[in-house]
Amino acid sequence: MIIILKSHATDEQVQHVVDRIEELGLRTHVSRGSYRTVIGVIGDEAKALESPLRAISGVEEVIPVLPPYKLASREAQREPTVVDVAGVKIGGGHMAMIAGPCAVENPRRMDEIAAAVTTAGANILRGGAFKPRTSPYAYQGMGEEGLKILRDTGDKYGVPIVTEVMDPRRVELVAKYADMIQIGARNMQNFVLLTEVGQTRKPVLLKRGMSATIEDLLMSAEYVMSQGNPHVVLCERGVKGFDKATRNLFDVAAVPQVRLLSHLPIVVDPSHATGRPDLIPACALAGVAAGADGVHIEVHNCPEEALSDGPQALLPQQYAELSAQIFRLAEVIGKSISKLGRKT
Amino acid sequence: MIIILKSHATDEQVQHVVDRIEELGLRTHVSRGSYRTVIGVIGDEAKALESPLRAISGVEEVIPVLPPYKLASREAQREPTVVDVAGVKIGGGHMAMIAGPCAVENPRRMDEIAAAVTTAGANILRGGAFKPRTSPYAYQGMGEEGLKILRDTGDKYGVPIVTEVMDPRRVELVAKYADMIQIGARNMQNFVLLTEVGQTRKPVLLKRGMSATIEDLLMSAEYVMSQGNPHVVLCERGVKGFDKATRNLFDVAAVPQVRLLSHLPIVVDPSHATGRPDLIPACALAGVAAGADGVHIEVHNCPEEALSDGPQALLPQQYAELSAQIFRLAEVIGKSISKLGRKT
Amino acid sequence: MIIILKSHATDEQVQHVVDRIEELGLRTHVSRGSYRTVIGVIGDEAKALESPLRAISGVEEVIPVLPPYKLASREAQREPTVVDVAGVKIGGGHMAMIAGPCAVENPRRMDEIAAAVTTAGANILRGGAFKPRTSPYAYQGMGEEGLKILRDTGDKYGVPIVTEVMDPRRVELVAKYADMIQIGARNMQNFVLLTEVGQTRKPVLLKRGMSATIEDLLMSAEYVMSQGNPHVVLCERGVKGFDKATRNLFDVAAVPQVRLLSHLPIVVDPSHATGRPDLIPACALAGVAAGADGVHIEVHNCPEEALSDGPQALLPQQYAELSAQIFRLAEVIGKSISKLGRKT
Amino acid sequence: MIIILKSHATDEQVQHVVDRIEELGLRTHVSRGSYRTVIGVIGDEAKALESPLRAISGVEEVIPVLPPYKLASREAQREPTVVDVAGVKIGGGHMAMIAGPCAVENPRRMDEIAAAVTTAGANILRGGAFKPRTSPYAYQGMGEEGLKILRDTGDKYGVPIVTEVMDPRRVELVAKYADMIQIGARNMQNFVLLTEVGQTRKPVLLKRGMSATIEDLLMSAEYVMSQGNPHVVLCERGVKGFDKATRNLFDVAAVPQVRLLSHLPIVVDPSHATGRPDLIPACALAGVAAGADGVHIEVHNCPEEALSDGPQALLPQQYAELSAQIFRLAEVIGKSISKLGRKT
């Protein structure tokens, strides 16, 4: 950690900072420049981070030199984490093809969509039973009934299933049915929920919040991991932007950034990132070319009847075309995509 | 609702849209222009909103003409809502002066700060017992012990108290102690929590999320209100910006926007909005001049020892100076600030 | 300047950095921590800034400790600059009331608006003769004819005039007519234009770019000042935001930030910041309460016939009401507003 | 165009809007809903756009249904434009490989870099002679001497050259030397410069501004095209984001968006978009996979001695590796990259 003092800091102020740091059991290294005094902190930075040194009079800035996440960092583990979702591997050269409707609507619809997407190459089936809706008057999902339908459909087609949990009181219930638990973007900093999910041993699909930095995202992964659950897959799904032409701004650079900073896998979700079917294929391919460990796509066979987010879903035929392109691209760049789902 | 079709929409596509709308029990009004066909929907827009009309082939855009929130809208209630927090009124010309430390740390510290801020004019005391921290390794708050300390301190100084709840399982507990329940910015779209808080009848301080539009904020208020709790006070606390010189970007225009769209009171929180004590006074005064129904400020008597967010706290003396300026400004613009807190 | 090395930087890399810095005639101070080596640079930071030290292998980050602007900084001048625009003072307790139509349209319209705004208290008259329009097909302004009309109108009402220049080849022409030259937001980093304007001695109204940080804004002021023209007035007029409900996001915290970092005056322009007449008064008052040295407002007596930006203009009557509130607020906070314009 | 009236608009207000539109020689179609009245405008929307209809009392919103750009739109030309830069084709399946140093520094350096990048597959050579620098004290470029060096180097290696122009007075000079003229991000809305460049017939590389929407970008292309110069290549180079970990936020979705809306080619510039060599390769490949018509990369053989933007340059060896990957990817997706530059 480096502490930069204000230009007119007095000797007393410098000494006070030094004293505080030494009280924490750390050593200091004071460097007086022409204009500024800089104090280097030697020892376990974590101890110093908990102390509000920037609040001390005369301090201009406090600059940590270590990332605030530990378990999630590349420093903690050089080789990439491979998350195993009931037989489907994600990370370390293995790509996930996650697809399905926004919401589980009824058994027939779920079956039709599952048949289509698994034929096209999807190896994990998604579908929401609890939906985070901006409006209290909008469709909120089928609840446990939806979980059962999703489970049965996944079993029938031999693929693992992923679904979102919003309520810490329902983590156990969702974990009973799902092979992978999704934390949605709006809950990325719902620390209560992260903690609860960290206490299961289910793989977690952690979506990036709309205004979260990469560091924020890794800190949320750290919450899950610090509870003992290391099976975290990150998901880039767009951040807030100023151009209203797209729902969000797809930050494809998140993929190489995460790979530099962390050993955790990262997949991309161009459906939420753009909100526009006509942009999804290009963004999905961009994500794969950038090194993503998977692609998450919403697919619906009758978007105009979808109970949630219909306008951003691909049709099964569009998904099949995109999927073929992803498989071809994956081959060129040496990624493998498991075609075998979970056996019932 | 207005539906704009793509420039090459066919007659079949137009008819299909018309059919879908009429199935919903609504009427249409088709207008064919030189380049585009536009369909006006006549009847209860809410019905049409639930249907993903934008997903229909040939549809370019769907434009609602009514706000998606109802209970929170000016249309629902012309006169301003006045929220009564154990005797302190907020809204309709009454301003809240909310102040206190980021976190409740111990009884002595809480007492010192409460003594200072109430003397300076604060009429609601704040303090966090459950802290939403980005890092799982950071101080997480005192829990129920903190609630008790805050309650006792509020009673001693005769002021109501406000504190944050993060966990839906603890809403009842927090409601037992607090006069007003805070929903933090990171939980503004934690719909489970909003629903739970909506089922109490406690006043709610709802902070705007970092990437929430004004409409998003009002939709979250709608969640609380739709559960039967109309006592919602909104809080502007800064949104994500691109200039790293401040923690967030203080959106002072949120104040007049909310006043135009809603009858709910809105207060400003320049502490979180800027993260910098040297900018807080100017932003607090700006908020009041813009018409805010209160000011929320973090105050600590020894920021360098604060367990959370010390660097952004004002010192008691700074708060007293600012408070005097706020009172003077409030007088000029005809606002009243209750100096009487809750009687024990 | 502080140079932080990557965690696995070798001794050779450290030495190479040290050598490069010493070649520049500067001294170094090397501090080896448990995880990181940090090099402090002692001497004239400007020399080091020109060298791309961050490009050296092993360097993680380079952190300047001085602001990159010199003439514009508080360090260069403690007392506030007071810019004199043909007799109207801006800064140091003196406020500018700049008002007028977006574009000069014809003599009669200009006269009517000038009569109204000067009666209401405006002390500088604005109007565009060269308009920066997003569309090549939109009205581009009257050119020199517009400058003449503005000049004549200003003379008639005894107020100085400000107008925008976009083309470096026309700076001389504009300076011949205007008392103050405006650089628009889209040209804030048009360095050719800044340099040209810096070579006149006319006061400059420098508007903040839509994605400019405060540092960027001050660097653009530095361009003008480094050419010998110290008469720069900054203008906050909104930055890009994610909420499409307003044209831009009014960053009122820019006001106290500029006052901390610089001695230059700063005014606010709520017309462009919000793009909405119903939000302008609240934002104008917010700016003044935050300490702005003036308010810039677009006024038109028939917005629906305005040739540019009509929808964001206040009506003369609305301006008069707002102006009265601004005068009252200015008095409370001890600011003076010259009512005497330029005598003809 | 569609005009939505406020909910309480009177009959007189509706009639007034209708009258205004009919005065413009257009027809209207009035639709009265339960809550709102909507007026459709039939006829040439451009006429209505010039009139500030939104400023009329009772009008809530004015929604154009046509894009404001004409020449640049897909409607104007279905087949993709292929821009020919002295023999190198861009667009319609042809990709540009633009590479070179940020600034032309001296003949030897330019020669070394040109040798390296052309060997690696670059088919257009870049280098700045006039540099837009944030600081007036930073290196501003070699001027005409730099243009000569770039021209000679391009001729020697048989590749066309592209370089930036900042000053409308120097467009003729730059056009004398360069095969393609660059408009930098900070000048994307320098309408004077766009107009001047539009009067040449040289291909233009138009970089997206940091806070420009796709529509803004296409409107700036329209400025150039409306002057008679149709040879415009767009460039995505990152927009302002909130995460300071990267210089800008690379908006890869801009590529498919431009392809939907316009016939103009679009290339990507991951160097400026990320500012970080460790992220450039992944983002370059993402851009190509998304359908970009070329890749613009800064390359320097000794970044630590570069006079401008050294820290974001790739080394020649890194460029060669990336280039090989781009060629492989281009082949998979059926794009051709001309290896033959301009013959001397």
**pLDDT in the model for residue A43:** 81
pLDDT tens by residue, D163-174: 999 999 999 999
Q: Do A282 and D253 touch (CB under 8 A)?
A: yes
| Set of chain C residues whose Cβ sits within 8 Å of the Cβ of A2 | 2, 4, 38, 63
Cβ atoms C259, C208 nearer than 8 A: no
* Mean pLDDT, all residues of chain D: 93
**pLDDT in the model for residue A190:** 97
Strand-strand pairing, C2-5 and C27-32: unpaired
Q: Do C41 and A31 touch (CB under 8 A)?
A: no
Q: Do D40 and B38 touch (CB under 8 A)?
A: yes
According to DSSP, the residues that pair with D90 across neighbouring strands are D83
Sheet holding B2-5, edge to edge: B27-32, B37-42, B2-5, B59-63
**pLDDT in the model for residue B342:** 43
**pLDDT in the model for residue D343:** 44
Find the mean pLDDT for residues A148-173: 98
Least Cα separation, residue D1 to chain B (angstroms)? 9
Q: Do D279 and A273 touch (CB under 8 A)?
A: no
Q: What DSSP line would sit under A59-77, residue for residue?
A: EEEEE-SS-S-STTBTTT-
Q: Do D240 and C50 touch (CB under 8 A)?
A: no
Count H helices and E strands in chain A, helices first.
11, 15
D211, D241, D252 member nearest A286 (Cβ): D252
Q: Provide residues of A within 8 Å CB-CB of chain D.
A: 211, 213-215, 239-246, 249-253, 255-257, 259-260, 273-274, 278-279, 281-283, 285-291, 328-329, 332
Find the mean pLDDT for residues C187-213: 98
A52, A134, A311 member nearest B55 (Cβ): A311
pTM over 0.90: yes
C16/C12 Cα distance (integer angstroms): 6
* Nearest-by-CA chain D residue for C170: D192
Q: Do C66 and A244 touch (CB under 8 A)?
A: no
Find the mean pLDDT for residues B73-97: 96
ipTM of the prediction:
0.95
Q: Which of A55, A57, A44, A79 is nearest to A11 (CA)?
A: A57
According to DSSP, the residues that pair with A73 across neighbouring strands are A262
Find the mean pLDDT for residues C265-290: 97
Q: Do C290 and B283 touch (CB under 8 A)?
A: yes
Tokens of A334: 């040496």
Same domain, D228 and D333: yes
**pLDDT in the model for residue A344:** 41
Least Cα separation, residue C31 to chain A (angstroms)? 7
Top-confidence residue, C65 or A328: A328
Find the mean pLDDT for residues D177-194: 98
Under the banding of pLDDT at 50, 70 and 90, the label for residue D340 is low
Least Cα separation, residue C339 to chain D (angstroms)? 30
* Nearest-by-CA chain A residue for C8: A75
3-state secondary structure of A160: coil
**pLDDT in the model for residue C310:** 80
* Mean pLDDT, all residues of chain C: 93
Least Cα separation, residue B82 to chain A (angstroms)? 23
Least Cα separation, residue D222 to chain A (angstroms)? 19
Same domain, B59 and B163: no
**pLDDT in the model for residue D268:** 98
Same domain, C175 and C288: yes
Q: Is residue B120 part of a domain?
A: yes
Q: Do A42 and C29 touch (CB under 8 A)?
A: no
- Collect all residues with Cβ–Cβ distance below 8 Å to D250 and sequence separation of at least 6: A251, A252, A253, D236, D238, D268, D270, D273, D274, D283, D286, D287
Same domain, A19 and A107: no
Half-sphere exposure at residue D245, Cβ-oriented, CA atoms within 13 angstroms: 19
- Collect all residues with Cβ–Cβ distance below 8 Å to B122 and sequence separation of at least 6: B97, B98, B99, B100, B159, B319, B323
Same domain, A161 and A288: yes
| Set of chain A residues whose Cβ sits within 8 Å of the Cβ of B210 | 211
| Percent of chain B surpassing pLDDT 70 | 98
Q: Is residue A70 part of a domain?
A: no
- Count of pairs with CB atoms under 8 A, one residue in A, one in C: 57
| Set of chain B residues whose Cβ sits within 8 Å of the Cβ of D44 | 34
**pLDDT in the model for residue B340:** 61
Cβ atoms D307, D66 nearer than 8 A: no
Cβ atoms C48, C26 nearer than 8 A: yes
Q: Is residue C265 part of a domain?
A: yes
Q: What is the CATH number of the domain that holds A131?
A: 3.20.20.70
Burial C137-149 (b: 16+ CB within 10 A, else e): bbbbbbeeebbeb
Same domain, D47 and D196: no
Angle (CA) A143-A144-A145 rounded to 5° is 90
| Set of chain B residues whose Cβ sits within 8 Å of the Cβ of D35 | 45, 65-66
Q: Do A2 and C7 touch (CB under 8 A)?
A: no
pLDDT tens by residue, A264-283: 999 999 999 999 999 999 99
- Count of pairs with CB atoms under 8 A, one residue in B, one in C: 118
A272/A280 Cα distance (integer angstroms): 9
Q: Which of D15, D33, D63 is the last residue of a domain?
A: D63
Distances in whole angstroms, Cα of residue B174 to Cα of each of A73, C255, D310: 36, 39, 55
Distances in whole angstroms, Cα of residue D57 to Cα of each of A100, B259, B335, C246: 48, 20, 31, 19
A54, A167, A304 member nearest B52 (Cβ): A304
Q: Do C278 and B290 touch (CB under 8 A)?
A: no
C242, C251, C285 member nearest B289 (Cβ): C285
3-state secondary structure of C338: coil
B335/D23 Cα distance (integer angstroms): 48
Same domain, C210 and C294: yes
Strand-strand pairing, C83-85 and C266-268: unpaired
Tokens of B318: 């700074």
Domain extent at residue C42: 2-63
Q: Do D189 and C132 touch (CB under 8 A)?
A: yes
Is residue B250 pLDDT above 90, yes or no? Answer: yes
Q: How many domains does chain A have?
A: 2
pLDDT tens by residue, B170-180: 999 999 999 99
Q: Is residue A32 part of a domain?
A: yes
Burial A175-209 (b: 16+ CB within 10 A, else e): bebbbbbbbbbbbbbbbbbbbbbbebebbbbbbbb
Q: Which of A297-311, B132-146, B279-293 has the highest mean pLDDT?
A: B279-293
Tokens of A126: 């998604």
Find the mean pLDDT for residues D64-81: 92
Torsions phi, psi for A97 (to 5 deg): -115, 95
According to DSSP, the residues that pair with A200 across neighbouring strands are none
Same domain, A332 and A201: yes
| Percent of chain A surpassing pLDDT 90 | 78
Q: Which of B90, B164, B33 is nearest to B336 (CA)?
A: B90
Q: Do B34 and D43 touch (CB under 8 A)?
A: yes
* Nearest-by-CA chain C residue for D312: C55
Burial B100-123 (b: 16+ CB within 10 A, else e): bbbbbbeeebbebbbebbbebbbb
Is residue A342 pLDDT above 60, yes or no? Answer: no
Least Cα separation, residue D284 to chain A (angstroms)? 8
Count H helices and E strands in chain D, helices first.
11, 15
Q: Is residue A154 part of a domain?
A: yes
A214, A255, A260 member nearest D278 (Cβ): A260
Q: Which of C31, C63, C95 is the last residue of a domain?
A: C63
- Collect all residues with Cβ–Cβ distance below 8 Å to B189 and sequence separation of at least 6: A132, A134, A186, B209, B212, B216, B220
**pLDDT in the model for residue D86:** 96
| Set of chain B residues whose Cβ sits within 8 Å of the Cβ of D261 | none
C65/B297 Cα distance (integer angstroms): 30
* Nearest-by-CA chain C residue for A211: C242
Q: Do C75 and A240 touch (CB under 8 A)?
A: no
D68, D139, D168 member nearest C167 (Cβ): D168
Q: Do B40 and D34 touch (CB under 8 A)?
A: no
**Sign for the pseudo-dihedral over CA of D247, D252, D254, D255:** positive
* Mean pLDDT, all residues of chain B: 93
**pLDDT in the model for residue C340:** 61
* Nearest-by-CA chain C residue for A61: C65
C209/C216 Cα distance (integer angstroms): 9
Is residue C344 pLDDT above 50, yes or no? Answer: no
Least Cα separation, residue A340 to chain B (angstroms)? 32
C228/D80 Cα distance (integer angstroms): 49
| Set of chain C residues whose Cβ sits within 8 Å of the Cβ of A60 | 65
Q: Do A192 and B167 touch (CB under 8 A)?
A: yes
Q: Do C54 and D139 touch (CB under 8 A)?
A: no
Tokens of A288: 């794969």
Mutate to test the interface with B, among A6, A24, A191, A210 (most CBs of B within 10 A): A191
Half-sphere exposure at residue A288, Cβ-oriented, CA atoms within 13 angstroms: 32
Q: Is residue A87 part of a domain?
A: yes
Is residue B343 pLDDT above 70, yes or no? Answer: no
Torsions phi, psi for A319 (to 5 deg): -65, -40
The H or E element that residue B223 is part of is helix B214-226
Least Cα separation, residue D201 to chain A (angstroms)? 31
| Helix pair C316-332, B316-332: axis angle to 10 deg | 140
Q: Do C40 and A42 touch (CB under 8 A)?
A: no
D213, D250, D328 member nearest A252 (Cβ): D250
**pLDDT in the model for residue A340:** 61
Helical H runs in A43-170? 45-49, 107-120, 144-157
What's at A118, amino acid-wise? T
Cβ atoms B40, B60 nearer than 8 A: no
**pLDDT in the model for residue A35:** 75
Strand-strand pairing, D88-90 and D94-100: unpaired
| Set of chain D residues whose Cβ sits within 8 Å of the Cβ of C222 | 135-136
pLDDT tens by residue, C80-126: 999 999 999 999 999 999 999 999 999 999 999 999 999 999 999 99
D46/B341 Cα distance (integer angstroms): 60
Cβ atoms B253, C279 nearer than 8 A: yes
pLDDT tens by residue, B129-156: 999 999 999 889 999 999 999 999 999 9
Q: What DSSP line would sit under B68-111, residue for residue?
A: S-STTBTTT-SSPP-EEETTEEEBTTEEEEEEE-SB---HHHHH
Q: Do B279 and C243 touch (CB under 8 A)?
A: no
Ramachandran class of D248: left when φ > 0, alpha when ψ lies in -120 to 50, beta otherwise: beta
Q: What is the DSSP letter of C313?
A: P
| Percent of chain B surpassing pLDDT 90 | 78
- C19 C-beta neighbours (distance < 10 Å), count: 10
Q: Is residue C161 part of a domain?
A: yes
**pLDDT in the model for residue D7:** 80
Q: Is residue B72 part of a domain?
A: no
Strand-strand pairing, A59-63 and A2-5: antiparallel
Find the mean pLDDT for residues B103-110: 97
* Nearest-by-CA chain B residue for A300: B55
Same domain, D113 and D38: no
Same domain, C87 and C59: no
Q: What is the CATH number of the domain that holds A18?
A: 3.30.70.1140
**pLDDT in the model for residue A49:** 77
A56/A60 Cα distance (integer angstroms): 9
Q: Do D35 and B66 touch (CB under 8 A)?
A: yes
Least Cα separation, residue B187 to chain A (angstroms)? 7
Same domain, A191 and A236: yes
pLDDT tens by residue, A108-118: 999 999 999 99
D242, D282, D328 member nearest A256 (Cβ): D282
Place of tokens 């089922």: B199
Mutate to test the interface with A, among D214, D237, D252 (most CBs of A within 10 A): D252
Torsions phi, psi for B102 (to 5 deg): -60, -55
Q: Which of A63, A93, A115 is the last residue of a domain?
A: A63
Same domain, A193 and A58: no
